Amino acid sequence: MAAPREAPERRPFGRRFLTDPARLFQHNAWDNVEWSEEQEANARSKVQENSSQLLPQDKQEEYEVNAKRYWDDFYKIHENGFFKDRHWLFTEFPELAPNRNPNQNGDSVHEFSNKEESNNEGLGSCENGHCSLETRAENQLNLLKSTPKICTEELAPRKYSELNQSDGDYPGSSASYRILEVGCGAGNTVFPILQTNNDPGLFVYCCDFSTTAVDLVQNNAEYDSSRCFAFVHDLCNDRSPFPMPDESLDIVILIFVLSAILPEKMQCVVNRLSRLLKPGGMILLRDYGRYDLAQLRFKKGQCLSDNFYVRGDGTRVYFFTQDELDDLFTAAGLEKIQNLVDRRLQVNRGKQMTMYRVWIQCKYRKPATPQL
């Protein structure tokens, strides 16, 4: 008989209001919202309904084979206008800038609500299943992987193989603090890190499945090749090389990225990323939780498998439970530091809309000493 699970970790935030003066009377938001049994049952019923008709297997295979094209198309359409920089990162993940002054840039959890969820493009609207609420975040989109000008997908393996990693001959080899963002999208996480973390020993790697996304990063005026290296990478391809050796990274960050991967490939992806961490290094994750608004809004015929869907634009998304993520990370030899659910209520008074968002946030660390 399996051991009982720990009680879910809950975010200690209380009631909170959005404070954008121009929209003060239009939008309210609350954190750490408790769901009633009736509400949870209703959400479960909606998921059962929209999962009752699965896409044919040949169509599912098509979405897997053409995943890169769908994400390239997404970024060509939206470029960087769909996303906002995430200055909330340093409140939620202070590990990204350990020496940062807490008052720097005025960042706060409240600002996360203002900047991320008060998108003028129609709060609460979902375009092709991409809810504008969480901007690039929800759009985990950035989630996927891209290719840069500097290193095209075809040239990447040759370029990396020319580097003698054992001799420290690789991008960022002289850095003392190395961060990798997987699924960098348009750079909405990378650039706030470069702007906020002034550690002279910092080096940031960022990769994406989409060539278009990496091009957006490299063409950004904030891109500094002396502190950052953007490259195209297919996480699901074991033969797709990383530019850095194993056990060289302090932080790997996954923001709405893992949910875009075929569920049966997730464990291999987490295992690969775990090998890149130094002893004591951490994976930081924020992703979709089960029964999030975006999941409930899917229609019949968009479900690929349990809790895994395809949007109208061909991109895909999975909705996690805390236990599922815990299983993935612990199976990769990592130890839990944080695994919490963030249930948020957002109200758009102007449109008379009530929206429940569910996200999961995790921190898992590689043991400083090998586990026996």
DSSP 143: G
pTM above 0.75, yes or no: yes
* 332 and 326 Cβ atoms separated by less than 8 Å: no
Q: Answer whether residue 290 shows pLDDT above 60.
A: yes
* CATH number, span 26-96+170-366: 3.40.50.150
Residue with the bigger pLDDT between 120 and 236: it is: 236
**Which of these ranges, 91-100, 333-342, 350-359, has the smallest mean pLDDT?**
350-359
**Residues in contact with 6: Cβ distance below 8 Å, sequence separation at least 6, in sequence order:** none
The pLDDT of 151-171, averaged and rounded, is 54
Interatomic CA distance for residues 240 and 233, integer angstroms: 7
Using a pLDDT cut of 90, give the percent of the chain over it: 46
Please check whether residue 161 is in contact with residue 239, taking contact to mean a CB–CB distance below 8 angstroms: no
CB 145 within 8 A of CB 215: no
Using CA of residue 161, residue 166, residue 167, residue 173, what is the dihedral sign? positive
pLDDT at residue 348 tops 50: yes
